[in-house]
Amino acid sequence: MAGEPVNVNEFQELAREALPKMYYDFYAGGAEDQYTLKDNVEAFKRITIRPRILVDVSRIGMSTTVLGYNISAPIMIAPTGLHKLAHPEGEAATARAAAASKTIMILSTGSSCTMEEVASSCNAVRFFQLYVYKRRDIAAALVHRAEKNGHKALVLTVDAPRLGRREADIKNKMMVPGLKNLEGLLSIEVDSRFKPRSFFSKATMDASLCWKDVEWLRSLTNMPILIKGILTREDAIKAAEIGVAGIVVSNHGARQLDYSPATITVLEEVVHAVGGKIPVLFDGGVRRGTDVFKALALGAQAVLIGRPVVFGLAAKGEHGVKRVIQMLKDELELAMALSGCPSVKDITRSHVRTERERLL
Ligand code: FNR
């Protein structure tokens, strides 16, 4: 691609050029027919914005808080694994970019830097994303380490009792280097040629994880717990009832269940079900500042970005991640100005028209 990228999608092109095909496919791909992968992005395009005019937008304030932590804009870093496949500095570089951007990074269990390395490399506010293994002692050890290393919240991913079928990875015979947080912990199941399928194998993952286990997790830690991977009102109600600190509407970037709904199409259902009792975060397909605007209008407190971060990292390291976040912030600021919303609180439901409303 000629010249500097001017939007987040162009970073994807740069990442495609920079990475071996196997790694690019690992980051970019989704499950099976990749119907949901496409729809996560396309569904945003079916929502239009209803701008208001003659509002004083000479100053735009994008800052907000998540679980009491102030961030410069409602854009956070989603947990994604294996950043060293994108860049030799891995998650340490991503975390420095998060700190420089004044946002929160959610570190994946499957990171390629240890959580200790990430913690010592920056002063970003970090949450820790947890996968629960059959050997519950491993989850407990990870939780204790996460707390000790200054993570401010635990994000329990609940949409991966088994690994989704990502056909590009199968074709490419994708091999994954050691997962640093698990070194020494999973030694029984893992050999040096660790494949993603063993990280997520039926033998390793705890597919029996249930609502009651959230109570068990709570008994392990003082960190607030968020549940990531909610797509229905039924589950949103349960999450609010058991009193978790928040939820993330997510379909895992369309890498798990294909034909699960595009996340932006179910956000409002979840927000209504929760009724303001707990904060609702959102991810899936956010590629433009207008996407962030739409998610906020439909009730999200903030969005998480997954692939854009790894593409930025692959293309230009820490600088690339900062640029990706800055581009989304600049676009959001402009969208707010052009829609008559001087602050994030001014973005309301009446600022968007969904596809359903357009068809009525
Ligand atoms: C992910 N995601 C993810 N989620 C999680 O809870 N734990 C993880 O380790 C990972 N790993 C991971 C790796 C890669 C390469 C991708 C693309 C995604 C899902 C991630 O947190 C988030 O839900 C999606 O990436 C959001 O969608 P977008 O922004 O990628 O469209």
Structure confidence by residue, pLDDT tens digits, 291-306 = 999 999 999 999 999 9
For residue 305 and ligand 1, the question of a CB distance below 6 A is answered with: yes
Q: Over the chain, what is the mean pLDDT?
A: 94
Q: Which of 10, 20, 40 lies closest to 169 in space, CA to CA? A: 20
pLDDT of residue 327: 98
pLDDT interval class at 108 (50, 70, 90): very high
Query: What DSSP state is assigned to residue 299?
Result: T
Q: Whose CA is nearest to atom 3 of ligand 1?
A: 80
**Distance of CA 203 from the midpoint of ligand 1 (Å):** 22
pLDDT above 60 (res 116)? yes
Q: Whose CA is nearest to atom 1 of ligand 1?
A: 80
Q: Cite the active site residues.
A: 252
Give Dmax (Cα) for the chain. 65
Specify the range with the lowest mean pLDDT, choosing from 153-157, 281-285, 353-357. 353-357
pLDDT of residue 147: 98
For residue 81 and ligand 1, the question of a CB distance below 6 A is answered with: yes
**25, 84, 118, 252: residue to mutate for ligand 1 pocket, most atoms within 8 A of CB:** 252
Q: Whose CA is nearest to atom 11 of ligand 1?
A: 80
**Distance of CA 97 from the midpoint of ligand 1 (Å):** 18
pLDDT of residue 291: 99
Atom of ligand 1 nearest to the CA of 109: 9
For residue 306 and ligand 1, the question of a CB distance below 6 A is answered with: yes
Atom of ligand 1 nearest to the CA of 305: 29
Q: Whose CA is nearest to atom 2 of ligand 1?
A: 80
Mean pLDDT of 260-277: 98
**Distance of CA 276 from the midpoint of ligand 1 (Å):** 26
pLDDT above 80 (res 48)? yes
**Distance of CA 118 from the midpoint of ligand 1 (Å):** 18
Q: Which of 92, 101, 97, 105 lies closest to 73 in space, CA to CA? A: 101
pLDDT above 90 (res 198)? no
pLDDT above 50 (res 193)? no
For residue 80 and ligand 1, the question of a CB distance below 6 A is answered with: yes
For residue 89 and ligand 1, the question of a CB distance below 6 A is answered with: no
**Distance of CA 305 from the midpoint of ligand 1 (Å):** 8
pLDDT of residue 63: 98
Per-residue pLDDT tens for 2-35?
789 999 999 999 999 999 999 999 999 999 999 9
Distance CA 177, CA 180 (A): 9
Distance CA 22, CA 345 (A): 42
pLDDT of residue 192: 45
**Distance of CA 312 from the midpoint of ligand 1 (Å):** 15
Mean pLDDT of 102-107: 98
**Distance of CA 306 from the midpoint of ligand 1 (Å):** 5
For residue 252 and ligand 1, the question of a CB distance below 6 A is answered with: yes
Q: Count Cβ atoms within 10 A of the Cβ of residue 172 and give its class: 0-12 exposed, 13-18 middle, 19 or more buried.
A: middle
pLDDT of residue 190: 46
Atom of ligand 1 nearest to the CA of 155: 6
For residue 286 and ligand 1, the question of a CB distance below 6 A is answered with: yes
For residue 126 and ligand 1, the question of a CB distance below 6 A is answered with: no
